[in-house]
A and B are shown apart, each in its own frame.
Chain A
């Protein structure tokens, strides 16, 4: 079976600067994939190029067999790709509930508002406060929760645990595991190794704008020496 997401020889530019130099990767239906790599190697750019926010791109992005390169940005979500950006993108002029219901539902199979409030009781309590009055952890929950309503097939997360307390990180891990049980496909960039090893099925290691290694989670212990060297941790 063809993978849900297939990226081949993907190149991307920020104006003059060439950031992605031929990224190749696949994400299978139901898989959770984590991209590792040092700062500035192109991890966030890879995600933003797949979503279609970065338009100066060449190569191939196939999602569910469909060529995504010519698809305008506002149609990517409708194709089934949901995005949680690194800065979370919670809107300050919208209430928590308005933030939650902002992304249009693109397919059946998403969670209902009631289910989401069950999963995130904090959000229910604070549904009429402005979105940015929430704590960092709650904002991250909100950023994930609002995508769950939409019924997308692929959830793309950019550093979901960045700057959050360990107890919140654990909570986000639980949520992602629950999503996996529901059959959601997840692609994330993560610096938190322990967090990533708990949820990912497979890893990509990125360096200088391309993927330099690809291995399943069970090979992680054997790869640690190499990872430490490349990641400089």
Chain B
């Protein structure tokens, strides 16, 4: 059997893949967090809940309306994005004038409310959501068995990340977004409807979280707590990458997912804490994060 660093190659590649899949979710979620923080200066604690809402939207649409995975992948983010936009417009936008702490507390309270409601309605136990038939099964790569759905998650989240990055870096809307991140008042004085831009951004961020949630539904179980389980790690990712850096959030998401996966191979006991150890080290050496600009 082929060995690499004294580890069977199959185990190594298997964990690498799991790391890459987890990394895909970290990247998608931290991307949304970074975009929201960059423009709104709000640390969106409801991001995990919005991710969970995406997964539940997929499951409930299937249960009640027979809407399949592919439509859910579009409708889920759309519904949660609209919900996010509504929350921003009616509640969150009232807090911008206050200390940033209020935005954090508000989204934290929102997350607790949403998760509490879903736990009350559906219980804490997870519910399965099956892999769409088109992506069922797996393929033998020769060195390992690859479940097709997992390969799909890696590819589609990479596409979503690059798409969002292009939207921000290469389009007119993106230039408004970047400019408003630097100086919202001046951009508004130029005639851009910045309040609307903030609503749109929060909606897109929530939609991205929900997109990750729909993707996650067949991989993990659909449960009210799935968001709070992952969000702490995602915050660590954003801190390591540097608050407000889009590309930093994406790259760090994948990097830390892989680091976590590989730790499982070499020293499994540390796999749950490795991300936080990396976070602590990065904070000591580069407090602004790997890709962050020094404030």
List residues of A whose CB falls within 8 A of some B CB. 51-53, 73-78, 83, 85, 89, 91-94, 98, 101-104, 106, 150
A91 adjacent to B179 (CB under 8 Å):
yes
| Residues of chain A contacted by B190 (CB below 8 angstroms) | 77, 83, 102-104, 150
B63 interface residue, CB < 8 Å from A? no
Cβ-neighbour of A94 out of B175, B192, B193 (below 8 A): B175
B168-192, CB under 8 A of A: which get 1 and which 0? Answer: 0000100110110111011111111
Can you name the residue of chain A whose Cβ is closest to the Cβ of B190? A103
Q: How many residues of B contact A (CB 8 A)?
A: 19
B194 interface residue, CB < 8 Å from A? yes
User: In the complex where A51-B189, A73-B189, A75-B191 touch, is A102 in contact with B182 (Cβ < 8 A)?
Assistant: no
CA distance A51 to B186 in the complex (A): 10
| Residues of chain B contacted by A85 (CB below 8 angstroms) | 186
A102 adjacent to B189 (CB under 8 Å):
no
| Residues of chain B contacted by A94 (CB below 8 angstroms) | 175, 178-179
Residues in B31-68 with C-beta less than 8 Å from chain A: none
Could you jot down 27 A-B contacts, CB within 8 Å?
A: A51-B189, A53-B185, A53-B189, A73-B185, A73-B189, A74-B188, A74-B192, A75-B191, A76-B191, A77-B191, A83-B186, A83-B189, A83-B190, A89-B183, A89-B186, A91-B178, A91-B182, A93-B178, A93-B182, A94-B178, A98-B175, A101-B172, A102-B176, A102-B187, A102-B192, A103-B190, A150-B191
Say how far A83's CB is from chain B's closest CB, in angstroms: 5
List residues of B whose CB falls within 8 A of some A CB. 172, 175-176, 178-179, 181-183, 185-195
A74 adjacent to B194 (CB under 8 Å):
yes
Cβ-neighbour of B193 out of A74, A76, A92 (below 8 A): A74
| Residues of chain B contacted by A102 (CB below 8 angstroms) | 175-176, 179, 187, 190, 192
CA distance A77 to B194 in the complex (A): 13
| Residues of chain A contacted by B185 (CB below 8 angstroms) | 53, 73
Contacts A78-B191, A93-B182 given; 9 further ones with Cβ under 8 A? Answer: A52-B189, A53-B189, A74-B188, A74-B191, A83-B186, A91-B179, A91-B182, A102-B192, A104-B191
| Residues of chain B contacted by A91 (CB below 8 angstroms) | 178-179, 182-183
A77 adjacent to B182 (CB under 8 Å):
no
CA distance A94 to B195 in the complex (A): 20
CA distance A89 to B180 in the complex (A): 11
CA distance A220 to B103 in the complex (A): 54
Cβ-neighbour of A106 out of B175, B176, B178, B191 (below 8 A): B191
Say how far A103's CB is from chain B's closest CB, in angstroms: 4
User: In the complex where A98-B175, A102-B175, A102-B176 touch, is A93 in contact with B191 (Cβ < 8 A)?
Assistant: no
Say how far B99's CB is from chain A's closest CB, in angstroms: 15
Residue among A89, A93, A104, A150 with the highest chain B CB neighbour number at 10 A: A93
Closest 9 CB pairs of A and B: A77-B191, A103-B190, A93-B178, A89-B186, A91-B179, A73-B188, A98-B175, A74-B188, A74-B193
Say how far A65's CB is from chain B's closest CB, in angstroms: 20
Residue among A51, A73, A75 with the highest chain B CB neighbour number at 10 A: A73
CA distance A43 to B75 in the complex (A): 52
B191 adjacent to A103 (CB under 8 Å):
yes
CA distance A91 to B176 in the complex (A): 10
Say how far B105's CB is from chain A's closest CB, in angstroms: 24
Residue among A77, A83, A102 with the highest chain B CB neighbour number at 10 A: A102
